[in-house]
Chain A
Amino acid sequence: MSVDFSFDEDQRELRTIIAAFLERHATSQAVREAAEGDGFAAEQWGRLTGEMELTGLAVDPERGGAGATFVEVGIAIEEIGRTLLPVPYLSTVTVAAVLSHICGDAEAAPLLGRIAGGAAAAVEFGDARPAAASEGEAADGGDRSAGSALHIKDDQVDGEVAVVDGVTAEIFILAGERADESVLVVVEAGAPGVTVTPLATLDQTRRQAQVRLDGAPATVLATGADAIAGARDLRSVAIAVESVGAAARALDETVTYLKERVQFGKPIGSFQALKHRCADLATELEAARSTAYYATWAVDGAPEELPVVAPLAEAVAGAALLHVAAESIQMHGGIGFTWEHDAHMYLKRAKANELLAGGYRGVRRLVGERAGILG
């Protein structure tokens, strides 16, 4: 088949290896310990980046990576996403993709080498998607860094911004403004003038940090709104495929519960009122999965499609996760409302993703504008 969506043998094996590791080391208990502690599963992160070398998957072999594509990275994101393990994998590989696809080689190469070696990184664009900011206002790539809180002058950056996965990051990629143009800069977490303050977050499995920059040294990696939009699109693809993983786990857990829980003398999963809700969720999830997989392929296979496909995948997969997570709590009944059950963690991840994206209505509007749907 030339139209081939299937994973090859190496890709399937990669998935099996990662899943097997997570099965043992990212149990519900392990995830909770990290989430309710400092929000970082340090030991697991060490092994995922060390012996498993997962942050280098799509990094050029010359920089110490495995030279795979974003499809392989997507497999890792999806599997980790299933567990909600608090590690900065998505952020780090998003940074790697931004460096590889958006930035010049001279600046990117040393950073990619460090990421392949296990350095954590985080990326922040400093604002919600502007498409959501105001009704009817043009929201193309040109506006996407409007209102940035960071200002760059003479290779120094000033300002303050909340950064997802910012506590553990050694490397920050940040969007800001230099004179009249938007720029993407790299800032070292350990550099003078950088203050990182951990923030407590609604979603404890993915923490944020308040990053304050007082004349911190910054190197410009890329300039222009298109570069920033492109970087943001890469994160959208990562979030999309992660959402698919998380939603699949939440639905699996729910279906399992419906088969076990007995009321009125039979498993509640035999009642159509619940079965049909599961069927709708499974259908939405599989459509989202197809879309997210297409998007991960497009990163290397059809980058010209990403401006439309990336936000499309984020909106579709994000909504699927939101719906599955919300329904999971309801279908679990009272137990789903307790802290001890995992259902709430998926809802919190789902909602945090949506809010950080600026709301899926805005993301969909952006798709419409970029695809020229309404002319």
Chain B
Amino acid sequence: MDLRPTAADEAFRQEVREWLGEHLRGEFAELGGAGGPGREHEGFEVRLAWERELGKGGWIGLDLAPEHGGRGAGLDRQVIWAEEYARAGAPARVNHMGEHLLAPTVAHFGTDAQRERFLPPILRGEELWCQGYSEPGAGSDLAAVRTRARLDGDVWRIDGQKVWTSLAMQADWCFAVVRSEPGSERHRGLSYLLVPMRQPGIEIRPIVQITGTSEFSEVFFEGATTDAANVVGESGEGWKVAMGTLGFERGVATLAQQIGFGRELEAVIATARETGATRDPEIAARLVDAWIELRTMRYQALRSLSDGQPVSASMSKLLWGPWHRRLGELAIDVRGADATRVEAPYALDGDQALFLYTRADTIYAGSNEIQRNIISERMLGLPQG
């Protein structure tokens, strides 16, 4: 049980700090920590330029093996990178889906030709991706996917609808789970396709959220096409590939996310001190609890990164989702009546956006109830109902 960083880790941390210090300047620095969930509309073009700057520095896809264009960075280094990135107050990334979900999936399940075609543009920040999983009838129950794809000569033809697609408007490509075998059911007969977004067969309709802004869209496929070669893994084996992608989503991101949470909590506490809300014993207790729980989540994340003591990703989600929602409540509670007024016609400030956006944290990526099912059945071994 050694929780101290090594000298090599510290040297890497220094390298990251120096690079960020040299490159996070001008319009990039002016953005502050803009973007991210609930704030994706902020400074998108500048953030895209920043993504390309990161690509030039070799900071995209750190975890990928060198032969795939990455640095082969282990968990420690990925955590250090993410921590320093958050600490520097750099803008939110624009290609989470491409870098953290699609790239490792293609590296793991893809062909050499797919790796050569799709990885370099992600690592250069040139092609953005969105995820086509959820459908109107397939939310928590992903295996209920109905969007159809059929092989027609050298192309796949795709018809159907995806929903809750983050950043669909900005994405160049979509990785989608589709039903490629007519009449198949549940987990069988699905394929994992890579589909270009800018084509006549695709229509994108943004969904206006409770924040008044739009990060999610509905995506309609009507005779959309993609090359026959753009299936990852075997045709009909898409469920396995999709589950692999979900696996890649978890892990390191948690510690980095907590740095962001820490900054949000500090801001809420600062506001509470300004408004005098800290003199209210109930508010003071809630702030201290939030701080304590964030610490607890950090210890939990550190333990989950160690060998031998696997900690469920579902537990992490069940801790941070409700925590973040409570933080959103605190953010406006410490403001009082002032937080009831928005900029006309309906522009929310950061606290208001946090309060409202965090409602989604316990719904997306597996609702609390889905996480509880997973924990009780897979970890505790309780029988299915």
- A residues sitting closer than 8 Å to B (CB atoms) are 1-8, 11, 71, 135-136, 255, 258-259, 266-267, 269-272, 274-276, 278-280, 282-283, 286-291, 293-294, 297, 301-302, 312, 315-316, 361, 364-365, 367-368, 371, 373-375
**B288 near A367: Cβ-Cβ < 8 Å:** yes
- Are B373 and A272 in contact, with the CB atoms below 8 A? yes
- Bound-state CA distance A272–B285 (Å) is 32
- The CA of A291 and the CA of B301, in the complex, are separated in Å by 10
In the bound complex, residues from chain B placing their C-beta under 8 Å from that of A365 are 285, 288
* Chain B residues whose CB sits within 8 angstroms of the CB of A280 once the complex forms: 318, 372
Distance A5 CA – B74 CA, assembled complex (angstroms) = 16
Whether A136 lies near B281 (C-beta < 8 A) is yes
Whether A259 contacts B291 by the Cβ 8 Å rule is no
Contact A290 B371 (CB under 8 A): no
Between-chain CB contacts (< 8 Å), 5 pairs: A6-B307, A272-B373, A374-B278, A374-B284, A375-B269
Flag if A275 contacts B376 (CB, 8 Å).
yes
Query: Could you tell me how many residues of chain B have their Cβ less than 8 Å away from some Cβ of chain A?
Result: 54
Which of B3, B372, B375 is the one whose CB lies under 8 Å from A302? B3
Looking at chain A's contact residues, the main secondary structure is helix
Q: Are A266 and B300 in contact (CB under 8 A)?
A: no
Contact B295 A312 (CB under 8 A): yes
Q: Are B315 and A2 in contact (CB under 8 A)?
A: no
B341 at the interface (CB under 8 A from A): no
**Is the beta-carbon distance between B76 and A279 smaller than 8 angstroms?**
no
> B342-355 vs A: 1/0 string, CB under 8 Å?
00000000000000
**Are A290 and B299 neighbours in the complex by a CB distance under 8 Å?**
yes
**A374/B385 in contact, CB under 8 A:** no
* In the complex, residue of chain B having the shortest beta-carbon distance to the beta carbon of A373: B291
**CA distance in complex: A146, B46 (Å):** 58
Instruction: Determine the chain B residues whose CB is within 8 A of the CB of A266 once the complex forms.
Output: 383
Question: In whole angstroms, what is the CA distance A274 to B305 when docked?
Answer: 30
Residue B327 is within 8 A (CB to CB) of chain A in the complex: no
Residues of B within 8 A of A293 (CB): 1, 299, 303
- Residue of A at shortest CB range from B377? A275
| A279 touches which of B9, B289, B292, B380 (Cβ 8 Å) | B380
Q: Which residue of A lies closest to B7 (CB)?
A: A2
Query: Chain B residues near A294 (CB, 8 Å)?
Result: 3, 299, 302-303
Please tell me if the beta carbons of B303 and A5 are within 8 angstroms of each other in the complex. Answer: yes
* Nearest-Cβ distance from residue A344 to partner chain B, whole angstroms: 23
Closest Cβ of chain B to A363, distance in Å, is 10
Q: Interface readout for B301-321 with A: 1 if CB under 8 Å, 0 if not?
A: 011011111011001001100
Name the A residues within 8 Å of B1 (CB-CB): 4-8, 11, 71, 293, 297, 301
Given A1-B305, A371-B291, A374-B278: A276 in contact with B6 (beta carbons within 8 A) = no
**Minimum distance in angstroms from B315 CB to a CB of chain A:** 5
Would you call A2 and B5 a contact (CB within 8 A)?
A: yes
Q: Which residue of A lies closest to B368 (CB)?
A: A276
Which B residues touch A368, using CB under 8 A?
284, 287-288, 291
Please state if B269 and A373 are interface contacts (CB–CB under 8 Å).
yes
Question: With A and B bound together, what is the CA distance between A367 and B369 in angstroms?
Answer: 32
Listed residue (A283, A367, A368) with the most chain B CB atoms within 10 angstroms of its CB: A283
Q: How far is the CB of A261 from chain B (nearest CB, A)?
A: 12
CA distance A329 to B308 in the complex (A): 32
A259 engages B382 (CB within 8 Å): yes
A163-B371 Cα distance, complex, nearest whole Å: 44
The closest CB in chain B to the CB of A375 belongs to: B273
The 5 closest A-B pairs by CB, nearest first: A368-B288, A5-B306, A275-B376, A279-B372, A6-B308
Residue of B nearest to A258 (CB): B382
Q: A367 to B307, alpha carbons, bound, how many Å?
A: 30
User: Could you tell me the distance in whole angstroms from the C-beta of A364 to the nearest C-beta in chain B?
Assistant: 6
Among A259, A367, A371, which residue has its beta carbon within 8 angstroms of that of B381?
A: A259
Bound CA–CA A301/B79 (angstroms): 21
How far apart sit A270 and B6, CA to CA, in the bound complex (Å)? 47
Indicate if the CB atoms of A255 and B381 lie closer than 8 Å.
yes
User: Closest approach, in angstroms, between the C-beta of B133 and any C-beta of chain A?
Assistant: 23
Contact A5 B318 (CB under 8 A): no
Q: From B6, which residue of chain A is reached at the shortest CB distance?
A: A2
Mark B231-262 against chain A: 1 for CB-CB distance below 8 A, else 0. 00000000000000000000000000000000
B376 touches A278 (CB 8 A): yes
Chain A residues, Cβ within 8 Å of B75 = 1, 3
Which residues of A sit under 8 angstroms from B288, Cβ to Cβ? 364-365, 367-368, 373-374
Task: Find the B residue at minimum CB distance from A295.
Answer: B299
Chain A residues contacting B291 (CB-CB under 8 Å) are 367-368, 371, 373
Bound together, the chains give a CA A270 to CA B380 distance in angstroms of 12
Tell me if B381 and A3 are in contact (CB < 8 A).
Answer: no
**What are the residues of chain B within 8 A of A302 when measuring CB–CB?**
3
B70-114 contacts to A (CB < 8 Å): 74-76, 79
Cβ-defined contact, B285 with A361, below 8 A: yes
B292: A residues at CB distance < 8 A: 312, 315-316, 364, 367
Is B306 within 8 A of A374, CB to CB? Answer: no
Contact A283 B306 (CB under 8 A): no
Q: Which residue of B lies closest to A308 (CB)?
A: B295
Known: A282-B380, A312-B296, A374-B288. 6 other contacts (CB 8 A): A2-B4, A3-B305, A287-B299, A287-B300, A291-B300, A375-B278
Query: Are A276's CB and B369's CB within 8 A?
Result: yes
Q: Which residues of B contact A2 (CB under 8 A)?
A: 2, 4-6, 9, 76
Query: How far, in Å, is A25 (CB) from chain B's closest CB?
Result: 27
